[in-house]
Structure 1
Amino acid sequence: MRFTTYLRNGEARLAVVDGTDLIDLNDAQADVPADLRAALKAGVDLMAAASAALSSSTARQPLAAAKLAPLVADPGKTVCLGLNYFDHAKEGGRDKPDYPWFFYRGTSSLIAHGDAGVVPKVSAKFDYEAELAVVIGKKVPRHTTQADALQYVFGYSCFNDMSVRDYQKRTPQWTIGKNFDGTGGFGPVLVSADELPAGAVGLKIQGRLNGELMQDANTSDMIFGVAETIALLAEVLTLEPGDVIAMGTPAGVGQARTPPVWMKAGDVYEVEIERVGTLVNPIVNEQA
């Protein structure tokens, strides 16, 4: 199944995607919460709800005409990984990490497919990062093993972990450069885990700047896979329904190029993951 989150009267609404159309799940079944995170936290069988909606007479609308929201509009946690592809670690002058470089993203940084990534006034070193996003579907018990971890994944999407590099490097912790408003592209669709290989392994992942291929890799190249990442996080904290994990980016980022390539107003960056979809964000300057 494929799901999306769109806006109706300014509120995020969960829908199932059927070809080029979407069907609002709450319209189809009033007992299904309108929000993806709320539906997951309530333990709703979204696969069954989606199947029922697809066979119902509920009104459809064109997906292309919908104003989308970040796929999980208000995640409890967005945990990101740095240096999770060996070639990306290498291009940054670092060795393969022995433990994931975890950092958090705040909700205010997230934007939807089609929304503009914002070059901040205080920096022109605005970079792109094509990533696989994981959406947790069920509470992950502490100390869950790697062998059991994937049963808690609801699905996968695309993420662009846009980064303000000079701010990222101002401190040993990366958080400040990863949380500017308008820098976390997320969407456009969520593909349920059953439609993809276990752990979303073996999928081509690409990033294109104005149509030019900048990043080209495979999710099999991740140093820490989805199952291992969940197990490592479960040693520390409780992952809950609607939490998100952004799995890191492959080589080809702008800061590693000679000369560096920084995104600027008028650019467009696309993140495409095989069998998942394509996330597109135009780039604009921050306004007064």
Structure 2
Amino acid sequence: MTLKFARLGTAGNEQPAVIAQDADGNEKYFSLATLTTDIDGGFLAADGIARTREALKSGNLREIHAEGQRIGAPVARPGSVICIGLNYTAHAAESGATPPEVPVVFLKPTNTITGPFDAAPIPPSSEKYDWEVELGIVIGREASYLSSVQEAAACIAGYTVTNDLSEREYQIPGAAGQWTKGKSLPASTPIGPWLVPASEVDAGNLGLRTWVNGEVRQDSNTSDMIFDPATVVHHLSQYMVLEPGDVILTGTPEGVALSGRFPYIQPGDVVELEVDGLGRQRQEYYRAQAGGSGSSGSQASASFAGTNA
């Protein structure tokens, strides 16, 4: 049974849900309120995915109607958002960089996370705001000083779609570069729509695509990754403690605006991203106003039926 975990509702009030297929292959939506208050590290660490399967088999979950509800990030605010840079061979080439021999690691603030369909602010002074479709890893158990890649694979609860929005003018100029400045802007990490269990995903062979105003920008496959997800988790565990619910962005393939082949994101642009089997995102961009909160707080609703990409 293929499961998709999601969080539905207004920002800060999302409710946990699971999407499952019935015997006829029709998707139905069920509340997880009897199992957990949220899809978070505690739920994942306590065998939440396995308990959900059992509850579905036993008929113990209430069916719900999700039509028109906002879809939030599929995992509640994690302790850490860890990112891998230059992890696709072709993207390293278009960036003018030598493919790394060890993973390039940086962090994003967790307050950058937003839903996959929420309106997206371009920073007031930004001129080079860029998209990055990425395969996201969600950690399911604590990982520290793991002894093998196989042990690391067992720590992955599931996968999701992520967009690592990046302001290149903030990120790159200067002798040392300023990746944190370019990667920490409000609402710059749309995640979702779903979390799909790792057992149901062939992470080494997934198509990734991005469209801007309906035109293809990125069209690649995770097979072009330099460091696969389990290798990334093993490597990170040697330098930090990964906790249940943490999210790892595994890098973007070629086709970003930084390549010089495409214009950067402008107000009014629509960016859509998808990863095979993990769903599709859609963001409409607007210019944030200086002196404000950095985000208008506007939210977009999306039908689950319309996001089954």
Both proteins in one fold, TM over 0.5: yes
| Aligned counterpart for 1:37 among listed residues 20, 28, 41 | 41
- Which stretch of the first structure deviates more once superposed, 8-17 or 266-275? 8-17
Deviation for aligned residue 1:264: 1.3
1:284 counterpart letter in structure 2: Y
DSSP-derived class of the 2:194 partner = strand
DSSP-derived class of the 1:148 partner = helix
TM-score (norm 1): 0.91
1:204-243 to structure 2, matched below 5 A, reads: 204-243=207-246
Deviation string, structure 1 residues 243-271 (Cα, Å, up to 9, x no partner): 1110100001012124x411112111111
DSSP-derived class of the 2:37 partner = coil
Equivalent residue, structure 2, for 1:22:
29
Deviation for aligned residue 1:190: 0.7
Structure 1 9/98 Cα, relative in aligned 2: closer, same or farther at 3 Å? Answer: closer
Equivalent residue, structure 1, for 2:301:
none
DSSP-derived class of the 2:210 partner = strand
Equivalent residue, structure 2, for 1:169:
172
| Aligned counterpart for 1:83 among listed residues 83, 86, 94 | 86
- Which stretch of the first structure deviates more once superposed, 274-283 or 88-97? 274-283
Counterpart CA distance in 1 for 2:172 and 2:9 is: 35
Equivalent residue, structure 1, for 2:114:
111
Counterpart CA distance in 2 for 1:38 and 1:51 is: 18
Q: Is the 8 A contact 1:138 1:152 kept in 2?
A: yes
1:1-288 to structure 2, matched below 5 A, reads: 1-7=3-9, 10-18=12-20, 21-26=28-33, 29=34, 31-41=35-45, 43-53=46-56, 55-56=59-60, 58-62=62-66, 64-170=67-173, 171-197=176-202, 200-258=203-261, 260-287=262-289, 288=292
Q: Is the 8 A contact 2:16 2:36 kept in 1?
A: no
Q: Which runs of 4+ in 1 moved over 6 A?
A: none
The structure in which a higher percent of residues are strand is 1
- Which stretch of the first structure deviates more once superposed, 5-14 or 140-149? 5-14
TM-score (norm 2): 0.85
Tell me, which stretches of 5 or more residues in structure 1 are unaligned? none
Counterpart CA distance in 2 for 1:250 and 1:57 is: 39
Deviation for aligned residue 1:173: 3.9
Structure 1 9/89 Cα, relative in aligned 2: closer, same or farther at 3 Å? Answer: closer
Deviation for aligned residue 1:39: 1.2
Q: Is the 8 A contact 1:13 1:36 kept in 2?
A: no
Equivalences, count? 280
Deviation string, structure 1 residues 72-103 (Cα, Å, up to 9, x no partner): 23111110011100110110111111111111
Deviation for aligned residue 1:47: 2.7
Counterpart CA distance in 2 for 1:277 and 1:59 is: 21
Q: Is the 8 A contact 2:49 2:197 kept in 1?
A: no
Deviation for aligned residue 1:233: 0.6
Deviation string, structure 1 residues 2-41 (Cα, Å, up to 9, x no partner): 1011226842322101355432201xx2x52324233124
Counterpart CA distance in 1 for 2:61 and 2:197 is: 23
2:189 counterpart letter in structure 1: G
Structure 1 61/249 Cα, relative in aligned 2: closer, same or farther at 3 Å? Answer: same
DSSP-derived class of the 1:189 partner = coil
Counterpart CA distance in 1 for 2:248 and 2:232 is: 9
Counterpart CA distance in 2 for 1:123 and 1:242 is: 31
